[in-house]
Structures are given as structure tokens and as C-alpha cells.
Structure 1
């Protein structure tokens, strides 16, 4: 819930819309307070969130902002969207403009710009299991099964980035 509030706040500020972050936080706290009393009155044990399964899709809002932007671009060019899936692409090791380690998106048949994605942007995607080393070429990265499931779940929910984060 907190990530949704922060994501909506950032989006609204970016596009010059009115922001009521304090009100959204207050409403979320009041809702949790009422839910706690209701659970206690009925005798239900409080909900304990179990950690997300490592093999299922990840909620889009749980991906950190900069890696989420990179993941969106990677998936758009490697998996495609809607009824037109793209050819399988991959990330090849490269050096960024600043000379730091990074990754360059390679998609057969498309001339994608040569701008590299920084390694520190890709590392969270690997840790979350959204991107993994390719089986046949371990020095290349590809979108994992979990990453593909996350991408298609994102599209099933509307798939319009970043508007999907403003449903709070």
C-alpha cells in the first residue's frame, strides 16, 4: 500500500497534478485501524502476509523505479506487447558512456540505440529473478520465466505504464 501511495505521488508530481499524500496515508491508516478492530471483533487472526512466491509473477509496483523503467524497455523490445510478440532479444555486456560496466539491449532485426543500461540498474532485476543468464550463453542476460509472467500480468491489468500505478 505504501509503495502504491509513493508511486502515485511521484507520478502526479511529475505531471503537475494535485497531490494529497498526507491524506492518502491517513486514509490507509484509518482503513488498517478499522480492519484491525473488525478482525478482533469477529475473532479472525490478523492477516500475516506470506512472502511472495519466488516462481510466480511479481507485482509491478514492487520493482524499484529505475529498474522498472529499464525492465519495461527490455520487455517491450524482447517480449513485445499485445498480439504482436517480438523476437527474443538479450542483454549483452557493454560499457556505459561514463565507462562503468553495463548492459546493451540486442534485438535481432531491430536497430535499437546503443545507449547502455548501467549495471546498478540491472542488478535489482537479477536479484528479483526477473532477468537471468541465458542458458546457452552465460555472458548474456535474458528475461526469465518469472520476468515474462510479470510482464504479461502487467499487460493483463491494463499495461499502460506508468498509469497502472495511479489506481490508489
Structure 2
């Protein structure tokens, strides 16, 4: 039984651009403080992949390449040990090359290739600062690599 006089517990979160379009039949998953969103349907099946963070920002992730799923709808997505697993769903392509209904996406972060950066080793970690990244220019990113193989972004500033 509903009580129409009780206060509404839902609140709207204003979106900033870029942001994914309205959709249904998509998959989403919360992982490490972010929400991931893949595919679904609007007027046709979608092949986009998004990450939402606590700063109310949507970031479109690369969903191209031969290993990525094609347009999917009604699929599932779960997270386990740094990997998002997408399973099943309707593939909206008569020409699908996919042999498997399972697509893992590794969420481990690492810095993009750069030159002219600084690197030092302290205890069991390597620290990398700055550098020049392709055509994007100089970076003020500060990264830590635990020498067991785990990268962490310690601070980030816009490349420019």
C-alpha cells in the first residue's frame, strides 16, 4: 500500500555533457566507485561504453576493436578482481564475427605512453611524473607502479 503523502526519496542528478543517450535493455555495473554502462537500445542497438564517476562526469570508453562486443542489448555485466565481464544478450548484427557470448574488459588503469617523463624507484614502487604524450602535449600526471604490477593515478591535471 503506498502513502502518497510521504516525501519522495528520489532526487534527480543534473547531467553534464558529454553523457550517454536515453536507452533501455542496457547493462550497468558499479565497480570501484564508478558506474559502467554498456550498450542497450534507443531506436536501434547501441555499441557505446561509458563510465560515471563521483564528480558527476561521464567518460566514454573505447568500445572499438575486434575483441569488443558488437551492438548488444539485454546482456549482463558483473565485476570481479579488476575485470568487468559482459555476458550474453542479443547481438544486433547479422554479420557478427563473435564466437563467444563472453567479453572481459580489464579495468586496471595504467598511464598512456609518453616520453620525457621522470621516473624513480622508492621501496617497492616506481613513480612516474609528467612527460610528453603524443599530440596532446605535456602531462602533469603522477603515477605509481607497485612493482607487483598495479598502477595507481596519484594526481591528475589536464594535458596541454
TM-score (norm. length: structure 1):
0.25
TM-score (norm. length: structure 2):
0.26
Greater share of residues in strand = 2
Greater share of residues in helix = 1
Whose RCO is larger (CA < 8 A, sep 6+)? 1
